[in-house]
Chains A and B, each alone.
Chain A
Amino acid sequence: DAKTTQPTSMDCAEGRAANLPCNHSTISGNEYVYWYRQIHSQGPQYIIHGLKNNETNEMASLIITEDRKSSTLILPHATLRDTAVYYCIVRVASDYKLSFGAGTTVTVRA
């Protein structure tokens, strides 16, 4: 059973913010939300994670709704190099496994 639902694909204009939604309506209280991305043919790369507070780092911001049933990854100024498949993952800290779904294919256009 998929724990997260993401759109299959989305386009974004270079220099604009990219907002990537993720639904995780069955998330448990001890599960964190993680985002990874996979640039073509490479291994996935960690972006950010959060529990219930909004988080920001040098790559992106993560906004988690108050009921924690959905979240949005924000790439503030998308560049062509941000073209990738973005994976939203929920996980408890004690679980070694990262469960990758199909992700969202983001294409940044000049």
Chain B
Amino acid sequence: NAGVTQTPKFQVLKTGQSMTLQCAQDMNHNSMYWYRQDPGMGLRLIYYSASEGTTDKGEVPNGYNVSRLNKREFSLRLESAAPSQTSVYFCASSRTGTSVRNEQFFGPGTRLTVL
């Protein structure tokens, strides 16, 4: 099993450009998440999808949109990138979101720079 995969690994954008970050998991998990991590800080939740067909805002949703394409895939879109969105983006999945353990499995991250 590959676990959680993310593409691309690195990306440089100019201010105002758009792009979509892709995430897929092969663990048959119901819940998926997008986090961002700024230098020297912990992760902050952008959006999550409790189950296929649902999405909800996290702590820092402004400037982002998400799509839960199917049970495996959860994409994050930046419509008009800004320098403040320079960060490392992590996708994660868990079997369910509201279990006690709720062990989240993380992908390797996408390092995004917006100039």
Contact = CB atoms under 8 A, between A and B. Distances in A.
Interface stretch (B14-22, B42-50, B67-75, B76-84): B42-50
B109 A49 contact: no
B42 A102 contact: yes
Contacts, number: 59
A44 B106 contact: yes
A97 B99 contact: no
Interface residues of A, number: 21
Contacts of A49: 100-101
A41 B10 CA distance: 12
A100 B43 CA distance: 5
B92 A43 contact: yes
Given A42-B108, A43-B106, A96 B42 contact: no
User: Which applies to chain B's interface (DSSP): helix, strand, loop or mixed?
Assistant: loop
Nearest to B42: A100
Contact of A87 (B40, B42, B56, B107): B42
A60 to B, nearest CB: 14
Interface in A31-68: 32, 41-46, 49
Interface of B: 4, 31, 33, 35, 40-45, 48, 50, 56, 58-59, 90, 92, 97-109
27 contacts: A32-B100, A43-B90, A43-B92, A44-B43, A44-B104, A44-B106, A45-B106, A46-B103, A46-B105, A93-B100, A93-B102, A94-B98, A95-B98, A96-B31, A96-B33, A96-B48, A96-B50, A96-B97, A96-B98, A97-B45, A97-B48, A98-B102, A98-B104, A99-B45, A100-B42, A102-B40, A102-B41
